Structure 1
Amino acid sequence: MKQTIPFSSHQKLIIALLALTQFTVILDFMVMSPLGDMLMKSMSIKPNQFGLVVSAYAFSAGISGLLTAGFADRFDRKKLLIFFYVGFIAGTICCGFANTYVTMVAARIITGLFGGVIGSISLAIITDLFVIEQRGRVMGFIQMGFGASQVLGIPIGLYLANAWGWEAPFFLVAGIALAGVTLIMLIMEPITQHLAMQRDKSAFKHLWHAIAKRNYRIGFATTALLSIGGFMMMPFGSAFAINNLHVTPQQLPLLFMVSGVGALFIMPIVGRLSDRFDKFLLFTFSSLYMLVFVIVYTHLTAQPLWIVIALNVLMMVGIMGRMVPATTLTTGIPDMEDRGAFMSINSSLQQIAGGVAAAIGGMIVVQKDKFSPLEHYDTVGWVIVGITIPCIYMVYRVSALVKAKAAKQLPKEESVAVEV
């Protein structure tokens, strides 16, 4: 068991700002699932079309990540974060004004072009300012945005949607994000240490050098594979709960809220465990645990609400338990001069893989009419099992790379990060 390294006051401030940013970006994406049944009914959207609505965000985010990867290490990371955050806010407002399937797809593309890059910029900031022995806890706190979005954002968004229409949650996200970007402008200090280490004269060369490194490609492949499994179930969560498990639209906020509370408790604990114990072993245990509940849940028929909630919380433990150690390990792969490019490419592949997964999930899942049960959702569960097993091997390879790098690395870079 390792001793934990405490955070400085500046580091705590950065964690709070990035957590708020992550909360809004995750909420914007996560709210699509609980609004799924409402959108499908109001716009007469079929499951395969709704899969494309979700995929539109993911594909545009992936393309944006690749386009910005070459430039990601050439600017102050604070300015880069502000630029993409403002674009994300504009895209989210467009979602609230969309009134047809086509305009919603267009709005999600705009949101993805900007929002999909924010996560990679945040990871680059975290990697610059925190040593790897601190990053598990940082990721635990940052990923609390996932739980907070379910505890606060999604239930409030659903209540607003039930009262004023499905557009209201998007305006809620935009309002919170406006407050977040204002705080970043006023409080966050410039992050420019990486600028002194740039060697590539052109953005294309910088992008190519990041792709050409074998160790980086292992990290990219691992992230893509993890994302395929993660995105396949999620878009149809609310439609499955309502049409198959007989959860009412009024009960849906409670389902998401309780699951989110579970995530809020789980994330910091997993973060601490990730900093104290072997990250690969934690990931493996969590993945195998998760698969048990994925199979149970995707094969579920109508049950009392408390059983549905309990299974959601138990499944969330596994999902969160593998997310933190896997992400933390991935941040240990790139060198400082490549972190922005690596995180952008990594985020890009994550989004593209997620978009592919959502589209495939839409092709597997069938619904005969607006009020019929979803069919073949259990097949999605078995596909996730098949994807997760090779994921464990890939994370093992990433873990080996990070350990080998740590054994060779001089403490120069780490001391710079601690002083900031």
Structure 2
Amino acid sequence: MKQKITLPLSSYQKFIIFILAITQFSVILDFMVMSPLGDMLMKSMNLSTKQFGIAVSAYAFSAGISGLLTAGFADKFDRKKLLLFFYTGFVIATFFCGMAHTYPLLVTARIVTGLFGGVIGSISMAIITDLFAMEQRGRVLGFVQMGFGASQVLGIPISLYIANKWGWQSPFLMVAGLGAVIALAIAARMQPITAHLAIQRERSAIDHLVHTLLKKNYRTGFSATALLAIGGFMMMPFGSAFAINNLGINNDQLTMLFMVSGIASLFIMPLIGRLSDKVDRFKIFTVASLWMVTMVLIYTHLSVTPLWQVVILNVLMMMGIMSRMIPSTALATALPDMQDRGAFMSINSSLQQIAGGFAAVIGGMIVVQPHKSAPLQHYDTLGFVVAGVTFFCIFMVYRVSVLVKRKAAETAAAKEAFKAETEGSEEKTETTVQPV
């Protein structure tokens, strides 16, 4: 098997990895915290599973719409300025989530948060694609997406602790405070990212959006990403309610459950990232998907279970889920051309969020809770739905992998042809020049 070359990272690239990772940490925590707060929210506001699913999907739908609206502009500006603008808006909106005391106000605040927060991930992916070579992206994505694990190790346990102490609104205020500090760091240390501006074609924002949407190869990537989101969004919003009401886990044990899963992800993410720079990414994705399907079907059929068993099964399930994220994202970043990256990432993120929003709503309609303390019904049905979607997703990611390999081969061939033509011209020049 051909060994891939590992390129070293500069000190500035390491700073970019850190700032994007901590930015992702705050954005992911803002979204992820809705799941562990789910049982608390449903009981304190007397919400049904359907209402809670709408509260979760409100963020996803607005994030998706925001991404589509900004996709045409994403390659027209300095990526640093875009990141700072949307992240500042996200921080302010998250603060208002912490100030909401009624269900309508909460849904409204989540919509505004999604309008700003939903674009940040795509901007980060465009920055990574601009500043890091393909041979580095697995490692980079492994570290940046450690924000997911860090949000579980540090963010969610702390959020649950302060939520139990000061109310469910307090985690959002904590994220807003952290975000203000991160925004200052971006403004002070990140350099402008403008290389893509030099090769922009004279298109309007709408034309650029339509151009990106109409490219067949890009649509394949969009479809794969949307399918990837459906499974997680179906199960995740009701994870804490299932653990508490079906598995017999209390709030203190729930904190430990998220913490252990997060610690595991801190080890898994960098490992998978390095592996995806050395091994075929589609193979890693396929193995991880099959593993995830197996664990999801086991986990969603559990009843009251000892804590240690729940922890082990949860970690094993998360291994599969997280191990799919890095190789699939690395493949997606290789599809767009430089001048289309911002638009591609925005649309990709938007479709992911919109698909996830529909999945959360559908999940809320499938899962039923007769009363506040009753076990959730039909959660096992979600497991079967997720398994079916995952198998179709494997096929779509395979198509993305084929397109990426074809593009890499064409690029390499073009470089060889250019090199041969250049060398031929030099030899011709040498033979025609006569000595004096």
- TM-score, normalised with respect to structure 2: 0.94
Aligned equivalent of 1:90: 92
Q: Which amino acid aligns with 1:199?
A: R
The separation in 1 between residues aligned to 2:319 and 2:204, in whole angstroms, is: 44
Match of 2:249 among 244, 247, 250: 247
Does residue 162 in structure 1 map to residue 155 in structure 2?
no
Query: What's the counterpart of residue 136 of structure 1?
Result: 138
Q: 2:36 aligns with which of 27, 34, 37?
A: 34
Match of 2:320 among 314, 318, 321: 318
For residues 332 and 142 of structure 1, the distance between their equivalents in structure 2, rounded to whole angstroms, comes to: 17
Alignment of 1:13-412 (within 5 A): 13-409=15-411
Instruction: For 2:406 and 2:22, locate their aligned partners in 1 and report how far apart those are by CA, in whole Å.
Output: 34
Structure 1 distance, partners of 2:28, 2:206, is: 30
Q: Report the AA paired with residue 117 of structure 2.
A: G
TM norm structure 1: 0.97
Which residue identity lines up with residue 28 of structure 1 in the other structure?
D
Instruction: Provide the secondary structure at the position in 1 that maps to 2:252.
Output: coil
Query: How far apart in 2 are the matches of 1:3 and 1:277?
Result: 11
Superposed CA deviations along residues 147-195 of structure 1, whole A, max 9, x for unmatched, are 0000000000000000111111001111111111111001000000000
Q: CA RMSD in A?
A: 0.9
* C-alpha contact (below 8 Å) 1:89/1:174 kept by paired residues: yes
CA contact (8 A) 1:136 1:274 kept: yes
CA distance in structure 2 between the aligned counterparts of 1:378 and 1:200, rounded to whole angstroms? 52
Residues in 2 aligned to 1:249 and 1:399: alpha-carbon distance in whole angstroms: 42
Shift of 1:3: 2.8
Query: 1:222 is matched by which residue type in structure 2?
Result: A
Please give the alpha-carbon distance, in whole angstroms, between the structure 2 residues aligned to 1:88 and 1:49: 23
Deviations 1:301-346 (A, max 9, x none): 1111111111111111101111100000000000000000000000
Secondary structure of the residue that 1:303 maps to in structure 2?
coil
Distance 1:62 1:176 in 2: 24
Tell me by how many angstroms 1:220 deviates: 0.5
3-state DSSP of counterpart to 2:251: coil
Counterpart CA distance in 2 for 1:100 and 1:380 is 29
> Do the aligned residues in 2 keep the contact of 1:200 with 1:206 (CA within 8 Å)?
no
How far has the Cα of 1:200 moved from its partner? 3.2
- 1:201 deviates by 2.7
Give the deviation of 1:90 after TM superposition. Answer: 1.1
Displacement, 1:91? 1.1
The aligned amino acid for 1:304 is P
Residue in structure 2 matched with residue 417 of structure 1 by the alignment = none
Note the C-alpha offset of 1:247: 0.4
1:372 partner SS: coil
Q: CA–CA distance in 1 between the matches of 2:113 and 2:28?
A: 12
Helix, strand or coil: the match of 1:195?
Answer: helix
Take 2:317 and 2:6, find their aligned partners in 1: how far apart are those partners?
A: 28
**Matched AA of 1:149:** S
Q: Is the contact made by 1:293 and 1:314 (CA closer than 8 Å) also made in structure 2? A: yes
Q: Which moved more, 1:300-309 or 1:1-10?
A: 1-10
Contact 1:267 1:321 in 2 (8 A): yes
| Matching residue of 1:415 | none
Q: Taking every aligned residue pair, what percent have the same amino acid on both sides? A: 68
Distance 1:139 1:267 in 2: 8
CA distance in 2, matches of 1:139, 1:133: 11
Mapped to 2, the partners of 1:149 and 1:55 lie a distance apart of: 20
Letter in 1 for 2:309: I
What is the rounded CA distance, in whole Å, between the counterparts of 1:132 and 1:198 in structure 2? Answer: 22
Structure 2: how far apart are the matches of 1:67 and 1:127? 21
Q: CA deviation at 1:70?
A: 0.3
